[in-house]
């Protein structure tokens, strides 16, 4: 019997931190897009993060992989987890509503669980996992506003771009576990960003024009956040959670990102949370508790401890 991957308390804590970091990236990316083109924004994101992570690898004196297969894995991971989704979603954010973008991005968890179940015996879809993911997804949708679904149009290229990005994210989780398993998180993240930079830098230069640092202060700060914190720092957590919980469970982080973004909007920009938002948080919390499984253990434990009537 194959032991199933589960979410430990430590994995949940690190996933929550990852969601907090990535939740703030939507705002920073949108600020940067006011001045730089989508591919250029991706090149900034992967390039600066790559330099930081290789500096970390060298400082920690971690061994650099020499196996060509691993470097093929880096290139594929960079394509699936950076180039495709970063580029498509950055372009999509310019053309569709933020609420709808967040709803579609949360679908990564759905595609992630399905992809993991197709490729790994220890990440099969159980009834509990299916119910939990469904509740979490509808929680995100409710928090943002179910009325946003009325704007969904399969003919919209922007919306299709976001969906394609979520599928790419899901496949990246599978690719990382299969091709990069056993590597130190720092090395895996640096190698992945190297692969993505090798692709995005020439593409951005050819399509968008020469990359310049003569940018406004707000743009530079936004790039600094999403490159150094939301990419370099976040991917160190990404690979740690992947090793602990598996690719399907890792994709559940996308269910947490949208509520984090809503909360940040309320705190930083003074936006008021609606009743729908709180209802969405409740549904999301219930979905996560079902996925975690501890709520069922608690219920069963109480049922066992409950005294039975005589006779």
Q: How confident is the model at residue 311 (pLDDT cuts 50, 70, 90)?
A: very low
Structural contact between residues 43 and 200, judged by C-beta atoms closer than 8 angstroms: yes
163-214: pLDDT as tens digits:
889 889 889 888 887 887 778 888 988 999 999 999 999 999 999 999 988 9
254/71 Cα distance (integer angstroms): 27
254-281: pLDDT as tens digits:
777 878 877 777 777 676 667 777 787 7
| Between 130 and 305, the higher pLDDT residue | 130
**Residue 274: predicted pLDDT:** 72
pTM (2 decimals)?
Answer: 0.75
Give the closest residue to 176 by CA, choosing from 232, 247, 245. 247
| Position 234 pLDDT exceeds 70 | yes
**Phi, then psi, of 54 in degrees rounded to 5:** -65, -35
Six-digit token string for 50: 């790559």
Structural contact between residues 189 and 244, judged by C-beta atoms closer than 8 angstroms: no
162/36 Cα distance (integer angstroms): 19
| Between 310 and 114, the higher pLDDT residue | 114
């Amino acid at each position: 019997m194959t032991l199933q991957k589960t979410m430990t308390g430590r994995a949940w804590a690190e996933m929550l931190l990852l969601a907090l970091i990535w939740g703030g990236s939507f705002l920073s990316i949108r600020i940067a897009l006011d001045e730089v083109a989508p591919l250029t924004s991706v090149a900034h994101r992967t390039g600066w993060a790559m330099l930081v992570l290789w500096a970390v690898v060298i400082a920690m004196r971690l061994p650099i992989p020499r196996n060509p297969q691993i470097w093929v894995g880096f290139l594929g991971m960079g394509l699936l987890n950076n180039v495709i989704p970063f580029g498509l979603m950055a372009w999509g954010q310019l053309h569709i509503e933020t609420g709808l973008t967040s709803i579609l991005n949360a679908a990564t968890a759905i595609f992630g669980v399905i992809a993991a179940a197709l490729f790994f015996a220890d990440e099969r879809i159980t009834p509990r996992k299916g119910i939990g993911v469904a509740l979490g997804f509808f929680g995100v949708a409710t928090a943002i506003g179910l009325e946003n679904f009325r704007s969904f149009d399969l003919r919209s290229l922007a919306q299709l771009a976001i969906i394609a990005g979520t599928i790419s994210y899901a496949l990246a989780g599978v690719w990382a576990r299969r091709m990069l398993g056993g590597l130190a998180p720092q090395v895996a993240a640096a190698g992945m960003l190297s692969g993505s930079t090798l692709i995005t830098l020439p593409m951005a230069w050819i399509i968008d024009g020469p990359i310049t640092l003569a940018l406004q202060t707000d743009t530079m700060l936004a790039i600094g956040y999403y490159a150094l914190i939301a990419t370099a720092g976040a991917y160190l957590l990404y690979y740690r959670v992947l090793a602990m919980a598996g690719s399907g469970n890792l994709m559940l982080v996308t269910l947490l990102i949208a509520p984090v973004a809503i909360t940040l909007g309320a705190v930083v920009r003074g936006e008021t949370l609606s009743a729908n938002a709180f209802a969405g948080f409740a549904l999301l919390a219930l979905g996560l508790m079902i996925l975690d499984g501890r709520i069922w253990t608690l219920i069963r434990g109480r049922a066992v401890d409950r005294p039975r009537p005589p006779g």
